[in-house]
Chain A
Amino acid sequence: MNPVARVQEPDTLVDVRNLGIGFRVEGGSVQPAVRDVSFAIGRRSTLALVGESGSGKTVSAMSILGLLPGNAVVAAESRILYDRIDLLNCHPVELRGIRGKDISVIFQEPMSSLNPVLAVGDQISESLRVHLGLGRRAARARAIELLDEVGVPHPHLRIASFPHQLSGGQQQRVMIAMAISCEPKLLIADEPTTALDVTIQKQILELLAGLKERHGMSLLFITHDLALVGEIADEVVVMRHGQVQEHAPVRAIFESPAHPYTKALLACRPSLDRRPRRLPVIDDFMAGRGQMPDDEPPRSMGGPPILEVQGLAKRFRVDGGSFRSEYIDAVKDVSFRLEAGRTLGVVGESGSGKTTVGMTIMRLHEASAGRVLFEGRNLLELDDRQMQPYRRRIQIVFQNPYASLNPRFTIGQILLEPMRVHSIGDDDAQRLGRAQELLGRVDLPPDALHRYPHEFSGGQRQRIAIARCLTMKPDVLICDESVSALDVSVQAQVLNLLKDLQDEFGLAYVFISHDLAVVRYIADEVLVMNRGRVVEMADSQSIYTAPRDEYTRALLGSIPRGYVPAAMPPD
């Protein structure tokens, strides 16, 4: 097929050539997912596959292991060479011998990758016994060693634990222990830290880098986050729409990106160092007019507060057995002030209570104590009827754009409902006009009114959710991880939209996020939460340049900063 086939270089471990993969769809036609992708993974080096959702990065990596779904069609000229074996055309038995032994994989969701009914020790021992033929006792001893190596505390006790008894970070460590149990030559890590908190993410990355050095493995690291790549990769492959856009050493990617898409990916992610007025979006760069906008000067504070929260607390009752009740303090003594037209960022890791704060302010949870003053009126003591006018003025945008729109409603019904509830507009014709206007405002076509949510992408749905809130002309908008589930480029669009809307309508935002860089970009003031309590609150500038609290410092220190030349070992 390939007349000028290169001789496999001795320092290449896996050579992927002209990979093309399509998926057979319902009608019987083949939808291409990956086209003409070639890259080589060197021995003892780390290659990063970077791209947004749908870029084909996971499909490319899984084809190495032969883990493609049943409807996948591999192009005839595709080759994946590992040790002179073509993995795409070898015998299934041969592939099974390689998979898990020479090449192993860790996935994004540790909880769904581990078998919930087996103790973690048994799960680690399984591959040891299958691939290395170890006996029960030897496998157990090796499993304890492995758990120790990946940094699980008390490995001899933990070996009998079940997955649900471990935290997310520990589960991912167990997955890594399983993956390295047979001393693989290549470890494929598919978004291994995306589901984890930043502090845990940093630990896992350090663990992977250390293991790679110690065992002389190669690492294929798949991620959507270029900043992560800078810390771990030697070479980077940037993919988009199933094709390789740029393939270069990590230094070149960060210092002199050649492809406009790479430049765009680097630029549209908010950074900790700068606070531009607007975020550039992919289209700007693809059209060749991309450049970093100017920084925004800090805005003045000190106006009258529109929303004031005093000593807010929320205690959940958990079932502690037949006659006992146990309580968990999800939120304790949270207080802040929010001025009209300003943004308060609430940051914290999972379980810090930040989402509960938003829910309690909205009265989606009933507060246990405290006051929420909206223009001086305590929302928590109003009954449903009195609350109704305030419902219009304070609104919430949720995290998951796939869950926050009713799948059985058309976009028109979704947008009209709040206006009907609050009698905004005289009749439906007028409301329809306003809905259409707002759709235009959030960059959606007017015919979207007659369509259903499932026809839209995640970013589009999030904009629909924002438009739904805007129909009521609210004064305060609570954004609960509203951009966290979106791709970087889409995230930039939505963040820009939020900023524009703030300027246009004078909205005040409570912006809840685990992502400190995003909060840095959008917030005027930042509130850091840990275990239900506020650990620090200050204006955005000072919290990022001079954090006072220990926890804030740790949090900031864990954020991947992209490629830092000094941090790299000299070649």
Chain B
Amino acid sequence: MSSTGIQVTSPGLWALAWRRLRRDRVAVACLCIVAVYVALMLGSMLGLVAADWEDEAGVSYARPAFAARLQHRPSTEGAAPAEQRAPAVDLSDIDPLAPRYDEWRQRAGELGVTLQARSETLILGGDQWGRDVLKKTIKGSEVSIMVGLAAALIATLIGTLLGALAGYWGGRLNDLMEWVYNVFTSIPYILLILAFAAVLGRGVTTIIVILGLTGWTGIYRLVRAEYLKHREREYVLAAKAIGVSHAKRMFAHILPNTSHVVLVQFSLLVVAFIKTEVILSYLGLGVPVEVVSWGTILAESQDELVMGKWWQLTVAGAAMAMLVTAVSLLTDAMRDALDPKLR
């Protein structure tokens, strides 16, 4: 019971939570996956990875390397037998441009055109213009993850602030907030986003703002409930008895004690927003078509799927599914590690 003076620095609650999280193998694996994604995204933003994604490195719809080995027979449907063609007819006497052909040919010969060697296969295949799907997906992660993180950050800030105010003060302010909340949640989500999109116009910033402004409701409710609970706790009453100001009680005393809720909600929002970005872009409400994101890739690939070009859809879908699953599992582990009740 009596404490000795050996241990001077002691682990804080965050350190303890981190220790618990580290013992969870699934959580560590997920953390690594997320770290790789974030690293790739940062690398692509800084131009270290996938900077040459727009190079047309392969033929149009180059097959993925592994799939090409499976069925290496070249497709022959398009090449019709030559002998069935009608014999060439000499039209030079009626063609008014005929005298200039030689001159043009000569001039064209002066221009050095080096045709890039296009490969038949790419690691994970190519798109319509022969761009490497892998690099395109990495480039696309930039927008998708960025949108997810930034929008989740905005939504978390709004939700936490409003929840804290409503829960801490209660009374009229709480009634007002509840009213706003109810109005927001009564409008169908997609409709709300449509409305915002119509007013704000398209663009990456717009979609971040839209998602941030519409996604705060869930976190607001949870943070409000936490504040309702904590403001009656004895440590908050003790702070009031000491004479600590309202702002300090709200943000220095109570907020850190609700951090487990906020953090977990934040990562859930990241997941949800990455998916929403994809859905919106697919519907044509999201980022502009010239910007590459997982959503636009998926939108593009719906036509390709009909032609049997499945790889772009698979790669972008798998990339998203893997990240979303990793973040979800990590969130689960984080909730266990951070929740003070479980101790």
- What is the CA–CA distance of A286 and B108 in the complex, to the nearest angstrom? 108
| CB within 8 Å of B: which A391-411 residues | 391-392, 395-396, 398-400, 403-408, 410
Q: CB distance B243 to A445 under 8 Å?
A: no
CB neighbours (8 Å) of B234 from chain A are 398-400, 403-404
Q: CB distance A396 to B241 under 8 Å?
A: yes
- What is the CA–CA distance of A391 and B237 in the complex, to the nearest angstrom? 12
Contacting B243 at CB < 8 Å: which of A391, A447, A452?
A391
- What is the CA–CA distance of A400 and B235 in the complex, to the nearest angstrom? 10
Answer whether residue A306 sits at the interface, using C-beta atoms and an 8 A cutoff.
no
Q: CB distance A450 to B9 under 8 Å?
A: yes
- What is the CA–CA distance of A400 and B232 in the complex, to the nearest angstrom? 13
CB neighbours (8 Å) of B4 from chain A are 445
Contacting A391 at CB < 8 Å: which of B3, B242, B340, B343?
B242
- What is the CA–CA distance of A192 and B10 in the complex, to the nearest angstrom? 38
CB neighbours (8 Å) of B235 from chain A are 403-407
B208-236 interface bits toward A, Cβ cutoff 8 Å, 1 = contact, 0 = none: 00000000000000000000000001110
Answer whether residue A313 sits at the interface, using C-beta atoms and an 8 A cutoff.
no
- What is the CA–CA distance of A508 and B53 in the complex, to the nearest angstrom? 77
CB neighbours (8 Å) of A408 from chain B are 13, 256-257, 259
Q: CB distance A362 to B10 under 8 Å?
A: no
Q: CB distance A454 to B8 under 8 Å?
A: no
Q: CB distance B8 to A450 under 8 Å?
A: yes
CB neighbours (8 Å) of A295 from chain B are none
| CB within 8 Å of B: which A373-389 residues | 387-388
Q: How many residues of A contact B (CB 8 A)?
A: 39
Answer whether residue B1 sits at the interface, using C-beta atoms and an 8 A cutoff.
yes
Q: With A364-B237, A398-B237, A452-B13 in contact, do A421 and B8 touch (Cβ < 8 Å)? A: no
Q: How many residues of B contact A (CB 8 A)?
A: 29
Q: CB distance A364 to B3 under 8 Å?
A: no
Q: With A400-B234, A452-B12, A465-B238 in contact, do A406 and B7 touch (Cβ < 8 Å)? A: no
Q: With A448-B3, A452-B12 in contact, do A407 and B340 touch (Cβ < 8 Å)? A: yes
- What is the CA–CA distance of A452 and B244 in the complex, to the nearest angstrom? 20
- What is the CA–CA distance of A88 and B78 in the complex, to the nearest angstrom? 80
Answer whether residue A189 sits at the interface, using C-beta atoms and an 8 A cutoff.
no
- What is the CA–CA distance of A421 and B72 in the complex, to the nearest angstrom? 78
CB neighbours (8 Å) of B12 from chain A are 410, 452
- What is the CA–CA distance of A403 and B242 in the complex, to the nearest angstrom? 16
Answer whether residue B99 sits at the interface, using C-beta atoms and an 8 A cutoff.
no
- What is the CA–CA distance of A388 and B242 in the complex, to the nearest angstrom? 8
Contacting B257 at CB < 8 Å: which of A387, A398, A407?
A407
Q: CB distance B3 to A421 under 8 Å?
A: no
- What is the CA–CA distance of A403 and B257 in the complex, to the nearest angstrom? 12
Answer whether residue B202 sits at the interface, using C-beta atoms and an 8 A cutoff.
no
CB neighbours (8 Å) of A465 from chain B are 238
B255-273 interface bits toward A, Cβ cutoff 8 Å, 1 = contact, 0 = none: 0110100000000000000
B159-183 interface bits toward A, Cβ cutoff 8 Å, 1 = contact, 0 = none: 0000000000000000000000000
CB neighbours (8 Å) of B118 from chain A are none
CB neighbours (8 Å) of B8 from chain A are 447, 450
Select from chain B the residue with minimum beta-carbon distance to A422: B243
CB neighbours (8 Å) of A407 from chain B are 13, 235, 257, 340
A401-433 interface bits toward B, Cβ cutoff 8 Å, 1 = contact, 0 = none: 001111110100000011001100000000000
- What is the CA–CA distance of A403 and B8 in the complex, to the nearest angstrom? 24
A433-463 interface bits toward B, Cβ cutoff 8 Å, 1 = contact, 0 = none: 0000000000011111011101111000000
Interface residues of A (CB under 8 A from B): 26, 359, 362, 364, 387-388, 391-392, 395-396, 398-400, 403-408, 410, 417-418, 421-422, 444-448, 450-452, 454-457, 465, 468, 472
18 A-B pairs with CB atoms under 8 Å apart are A362-B241, A398-B234, A398-B238, A404-B235, A407-B257, A407-B340, A410-B12, A417-B244, A418-B242, A445-B4, A448-B3, A450-B9, A450-B10, A451-B10, A455-B3, A455-B10, A456-B3, A472-B242
Closest CB pairs A-B (n = 5): A391-B243, A408-B256, A404-B234, A398-B234, A403-B234
Other 8 A-B pairs with CB < 8 A, given A403-B234, A406-B239? A396-B237, A403-B235, A405-B238, A408-B13, A417-B244, A421-B242, A445-B5, A455-B10
